[in-house]
Chains A and B, each alone.
Chain A
Amino acid sequence: MSYIPKPKVTHPRAARNALGLTSRDYEGAVSTLCAGCGHDSVTAAIVQSVFELDVEPHKLAKMSGIGCSSKTPAYFVSQSHGFNSVHGRMPSVTTGAYAANADLMYIGVSGDGDSLSIGVGQFVHAIRRNLNMCYIIENNGVYGLTKGQFSASADIGSKPKKGLPNQQEPIDPVSTAISLGASYVARSFSGDKEQLVPLIKGALLHPGFALVDVISPCVTFNDHEGSTKSYEHTRQFYHHVTDIDYIPPAKEIVAEYDKGAVMPVELHDGSRILLRKVDDRYDPTSRAAAFKYLREHFNAGEITTGLLYFDEQRKEMHELMGNVEVPFAELPLDSLRPPSGELQNILSKYR
């Protein structure tokens, strides 16, 4: 926690995006998290992503629940929309918001406690609906805000600062999401922005539910020896299985690449993701193969990162429901609400 605001002075040669803004213009309030918290790095990665995507701040909605992680939307893009919901309820609030206004870009920031403990029911249904949002879990294996109790993502045998090691099976948000048919599933690390930023950019543009599970160490309650979510442990055991480059719409793909190892993925706005396989046995388009690979490597104690599964064909929520293209929020009341006569007609069908 810092007591002076981050100075309003910018590098005089700081890059500007298509809107003429610098990344500093996408910052929010001063963080009140612990110094060294991984969540602050994820915030910085989000700032960089929306800056590089030329996102207009008023076209962004930041959604969150409760937790240190869920506090972070206050620390980026202060000129956007936002909703800080009840613990674990961010997915349903976002569902409502997205139902009413599909025109905004939704970014949800949650924690492993918020999404996998109290909010796990909400989390899985948002995936089933293929809600068009970028869903970030800042995963530290503990409830940071309430002083470090194990969360549902804690690994078996991981040691707390005090007390006994965890004995319960962890919920892995990545395999859970793949098993539920999520259409963009990624994992990364707060200490690896080179990987994280393109993954967030892809997730923001992906038309459907995009999960980014970010190992984000809790420097205060879960960064000690014996913890499997510490900076040191993560650095030692994490592997890139795929790397992605984000290619904006108008840009040519210039680099030569080996067709077998690189897959270009077309996004709906004309931009592309170049997916480079670090391990060429990995197939991020097959649920079964991905699932198997993840399990094996998890059992070997490895943390598999990258864009792990995607399916650009799946329909997102409004498409699935066959809704009109105009956001409900912009429809005039009379076309949004059936006249009372029409209601009688509908009801009579059920009599």
Chain B
Amino acid sequence: MKPTDTSNPDYFHKVVDCQWACPAHTDVPLYIRLIAQGKFGEAYLENRKSNVFPAILGRVCDRPCEPACRRGRVEEKPVAICRLKRVAADNRGDISEHLPKPPVAENGKKIALIGCGCASLAVANDLRPMGYSVTIFEALPATGGLMRTNIPRFRLPPEVLDEEIQTILDTGVDLKLNHPIESMKALLDSKEFDAVFVGTGAPRGKNLEIPGRYDSDRIHIGIEWLESVAFEHIETIGERVLIIGVGNTAMDCCRTSLRLGAKDVKVMARKPRGFFKASDWELEDAEEENVEILVNHSPKSFVIEDGKLTGMTFELMEYQVDDNGRIDRGTVVGETVIPCDDVILAIGQDNAFPWIERDIGIEFDQWDCPVVDEKTMMCGRDGVFFGGDAAFGPKNIIWAVAHGHEAAISIHRYCQGLDIEDRPPRGVTLSSQKMGMHEWSYSNYYEGAERRIMPHVDLKERFKNLDIEVELGFTAEQVAKEVERCLNCDIQTVFTDKLCIECDACLDVCPVDCLTITENGEEADLRTRLRAPAPNHEQALYVSGELPHTRRVMVKDEDLCVHCGLCAERCPTGAWDMQRSAIRLPYASDESESAATDTAA
């Protein structure tokens, strides 16, 4: 193999699994260390830089970082990255002077953001302080999009939502509530705006067209029903509720039902466990509340007696799973009727753009989704950008934020007459963490503790009303342990081949056998010759140039390195060093005078 090119910013970035997996590339290990040092405000701001809504995300992020976390490969569970974010937010103190401010001067450009969900808000967050005049049009009487209308208050308290949204609005955003955009053509024709961003989400809940669907008013569509609950249009539900579908929306529907008076809530899954769409933690939280999940039940029809919904008929399914873990379409092996008073359909969302004319240069694909460039977020019509669920279908908050940042860069370049394809590059800066003979700037000790368990409000208490936040947040003791579980994957092992005397000290001390000195070869061959099996091809091999004494190479399998720094500590010549990789991500503000708000890592 050729020597690894560590000057490519992506190389070390990928080693920081959490940061790489995070759509907004939040510098997780950095903020965890700040929390460990009690610098909660700084930890909050570090988060805010990339993900804009730390307090919200610290409660409800989809956390793609956690399944990616290296800790989950060396032991059972990943670091509680998300809930540590909440710790930073809850304890941040007064940081108002570091939050974005209204611009000193307007730059004369006007931007329209359609929809006041997290995607549009992220764009406003980036562009308003630069001097753009930003107008948000929102159909509903409230801000926040699905974060307010669908994510239940027992997971995300409205005050938390309001505070972080207000920070952005306070920079001087022109917010127009109760203001649905009904014609894109009219908006564009008015020529009032230099650029338009569409952050209208994926607002249509999927329907289930089976017999009886329209014969009762007790059959609800999940996201509409949750919205009605959020706006207090619905305050009760029957005793026996069936939820159809087993994704995250289903989990919110079943738990909300329990708080509106349901006694017996069943989640009906068509497939077996392991094929559920809901995240494990959402399933756990629902099951803790005694929601029953029935597997292999495929909805067949609604049972309506005397115009009243009395139950649902399901086909009982059996499936074969092949060696690759793929499941077949199943065979019907029976039928059953399950009695109920209400049914909530939670089987997914679709995009819907009835208000965008099809002849104005905005292309739509076969699923009626707009055709949007993944890099620039612009559609076929110049000056119109998409982000969040509106761009590529339903995702989550952190993706919407990431889209928002990218769109902001594009909008800025577009408005300044620059090429939007030509994007500012990512960068990486390395800095040695050596403080003394055996001293590092980070805590390299390996904390063996297991993941801390989030304390919850008592099962009897929590159902009293919709507003009781179930998760209590980590205690100080839990925080102290959990932060130490982070392996500091951004503190990289950096190798200088010409210093190596091949004494084997690093190989011998490495607790997880990631290092090998051997003859060079092709990757597939090298992987078979390492000191420990290296079957995880998603993790790179770090290969050095030829070593001076024997012309062999040093090979590091990045997969399981716990960043303990012992290789560097045992190296007599300093060929190994522990260096922090700070990944520089471009933001729209980098190109303006207000770039100074960017705090250095």
Contact = CB atoms under 8 A, between A and B. Distances in A.
B562 interface: yes
Contacts of B437: 1
B571 A35 contact: yes
A48 to B, nearest CB: 10
Contact of B511 (A9, A35, A190, A223): A9
B573 A232 contact: no
B566 to A, nearest CB: 6
Interface stretch (B53-61, B337-345, B496-504): B496-504
B502 A2 contact: no
A36 B75 contact: no
A34 B573 CA distance: 11
Nearest to B517: A191
Interface string A31-44: 00011111011011
B572 interface: yes
A24 B511 contact: yes
Given A1-B438, A6-B566, A9-B562, A36 B501 contact: yes
Contacts of B460: none
B73 A190 contact: no
B83 interface: no
Given A2-B566, A35-B570, A193-B504, 12 more contacts: A4-B444, A4-B564, A7-B566, A8-B448, A9-B512, A12-B74, A35-B505, A35-B569, A38-B503, A41-B505, A44-B504, A191-B502
29 contacts: A2-B438, A2-B566, A3-B569, A4-B445, A4-B446, A4-B566, A6-B509, A7-B448, A7-B564, A8-B511, A9-B448, A10-B511, A11-B513, A11-B532, A11-B533, A13-B532, A24-B511, A35-B570, A36-B501, A36-B570, A36-B573, A37-B505, A38-B503, A41-B505, A190-B504, A219-B501, A223-B501, A231-B503, A232-B549
Interface string B3-37: 00000000000000000000000000000000000
A283 B99 CA distance: 81
Q: Most chain-B CB neighbours within 10 Å: which of A4, A7, A40, A43?
A: A7
Nearest to B549: A235
A35 B445 CA distance: 18
Interface in B512-529: 512-513
Contacts of A235: 502, 549-550
Nearest to A8: B448
A65 interface: no
A217 interface: yes
B438 A3 contact: yes
Given A12-B74, A34-B572, A35-B570, A191 B503 contact: yes
B525 to A, nearest CB: 17
Nearest to B508: A44
Contacts of B448: 7-9
Interface in B417-463: 437-439, 444-446, 448
Interface string A260-298: 000000000000000000000000000000000000000
B560 interface: yes
A14 interface: yes
Contact of B446 (A8, A12, A219): A8
B503 A36 contact: yes
B490 to A, nearest CB: 18
A99 B146 CA distance: 81
Interface string A207-234: 0000000000101000100000001100
Interface centre among A4, A6, A35, A193 (most CB of B within 10 A): A35
B564 A231 contact: no
A275 B566 CA distance: 36
Contacts of B560: 11-12
A1 B437 CA distance: 9
A232 B501 contact: yes
A8 B446 CA distance: 8
Contact of A219 (B503, B509, B513): B503
A228 to B, nearest CB: 15
Q: Which of B73, B532, B571 has the most CB of A within 10 A?
A: B532
Given A2-B569, A11-B560, A12-B73, A41 B504 contact: yes
B511 A6 contact: yes
A322 B505 CA distance: 45
A27 to B, nearest CB: 9
